[in-house]
């Protein structure tokens, strides 16, 4: 079983546990009673220039523990102060050591839109994301069908949530476009064998129609990487490890942007 299959299976297990504590009907009712998020995540990315989605991530399957000290709210505030357009928060608990609580506290502490970075496998997780304060969810093509992606985007639309639809190869990019994605993330990391190649973004850029926002994800570590992605017209970059390992996150972000 690949790590991705294990992550998806565990997300299904977490969802079933969640449903035993709180039914889908109850959660859905609460989520739909909250103010509409007005697509603030994709609107932040639509602004002119390259946007930065800065990630709060303590660990990952490929890297193990990335940082031992993880003052997540402080990190998110540092990102916001440094001009991050959006923040990504890992909520997967077993391999990423994330937590729903981290998302809830971060979304309550910053005014930039937050992405729930998790392995969405059930509509339950989308309503849960809204209740936790997220403005966007991640939909990964390799663990979902085109029909599921289309259905989950419709659920997101009801609440003004954005769906970042993640693809890694040609087949998945086609699937994302056909499913109606408005925001496509090309993951430079192969989630089956963990190899990282930022050229993946260059390879598939042309396949993404001009009216769909394009995000390059993973393995971005230098101002040069960012410059190249800007040149091919990326709308946003999603950066985790590089920022998590930086002692001075604001300065690191400025360096990546190319302003110092």
Ligand X SMILES: O=C(O)c1ccccc1NCC(=O)[C@H](O)[C@H](O)COP(=O)(O)O
- Catalytic residue positions, numbered: 55, 57, 117, 166, 187, 217-218
Exactly one of 3, 24, 212, 254 binds ligand X (CB under 6 A); that residue is: 3
Smallest gap, in angstroms, from Cβ of residue 131 to ligand X? 23
Exactly one of 84, 164, 176, 239 binds ligand X (CB under 6 A); that residue is: 239
Distance in angstroms (rounded) separating the CA atoms of residues 85 and 135: 12
Q: Determine the 3-state secondary structure of 219 from DSSP.
A: coil
Q: Does 141 bind ligand X (CB under 6 A)?
A: no
Distance in angstroms (rounded) separating the CA atoms of residues 184 and 138: 10
Distance in angstroms (rounded) separating the CA atoms of residues 215 and 71: 26
Q: Does 55 bind ligand X (CB under 6 A)?
A: yes
Q: Does 62 bind ligand X (CB under 6 A)?
A: yes
Q: Does 187 bind ligand X (CB under 6 A)?
A: yes
Q: Does 42 bind ligand X (CB under 6 A)?
A: no
- Residue 47, classified by CB atoms within 10 Å of its CB into exposed (0-12), middle (13-18) or buried (19+), is exposed
Distance in angstroms (rounded) separating the CA atoms of residues 97 and 230: 31
Smallest gap, in angstroms, from Cβ of residue 88 to ligand X? 7
Exactly one of 238, 249, 253, 256 binds ligand X (CB under 6 A); that residue is: 238
User: For ligand X, which is the closer residue by CB, 160 or 240?
Assistant: 240
Exactly one of 58, 168, 189, 257 binds ligand X (CB under 6 A); that residue is: 189
Exactly one of 28, 37, 57, 252 binds ligand X (CB under 6 A); that residue is: 57
Smallest gap, in angstroms, from Cβ of residue 20 to ligand X? 26
Q: Determine the 3-state secondary structure of 205 from DSSP.
A: helix
Using CB under 6 A as the criterion, what x/- string covers residues 212-231 for binding ligand X? -----xxxx-----------
Number of alpha carbons in the 13 Å side-chain half-sphere of residue 15 = 19
Give the end-to-end CA distance of the chain in Å, rounded to a whole number: 45
* Category of 234 on φ-ψ map: left (φ > 0), alpha (ψ -120 to 50) or beta: beta
What the block records as the tokens of 198 is 């930022």
Residues in contact with ligand X by the rule CB under 6 A: 3-4, 55, 57, 60-62, 187, 189, 191, 194, 217-220, 238-242
């Amino acid at each position: 079983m690949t790590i991705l299959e294990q992550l998806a299976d565990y997300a299904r297990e977490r969802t079933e546990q969640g449903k035993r504590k709180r039914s889908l009907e109850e959660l859905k009712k609460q989520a739909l009673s909250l103010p509409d998020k007005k697509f603030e995540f994709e609107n932040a990315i639509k602004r002119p220039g390259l946007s930065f989605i800065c990630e709060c991530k303590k660990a990952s399957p490929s890297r193990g523990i990335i940082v031992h000290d993880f003052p997540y709210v402080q990190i998110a505030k540092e990102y916001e102060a440094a001009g991050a357009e959006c923040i990504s928060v890992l909520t997967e608990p077993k391999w990423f050591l994330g937590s729903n609580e981290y998302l809830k506290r971060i979304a309550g502490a910053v005014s930039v839109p937050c992405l729930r970075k998790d392995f969405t496998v059930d509509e339950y997780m989308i309503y849960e994301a809204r209740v936790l304060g997220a403005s966007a969810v991640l939909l990964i093509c390799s663990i979902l069908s085109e029909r599921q992606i289309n259905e989950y985007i419709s659920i997101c639309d009801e609440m003004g949530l954005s769906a970042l639809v993640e693809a890694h190869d040609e087949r998945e990019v086609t699937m994302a476009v056909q499913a109606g994605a408005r925001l496509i993330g090309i993951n430079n990391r192969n989630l089956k064998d963990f190899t990282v190649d930022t050229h993946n973004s260059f390879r598939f850029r042309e396949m993404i129609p001009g009216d769909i926002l394009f995000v390059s994800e993973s393995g971005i570590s230098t101002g040069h990487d960012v410059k190249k992605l800007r040149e091919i017209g990326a709308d946003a970059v999603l950066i985790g490890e590089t920022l998590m390992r930086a002692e001075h996150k604001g300065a690191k972000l400025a360096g990546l942007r190319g302003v110092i």
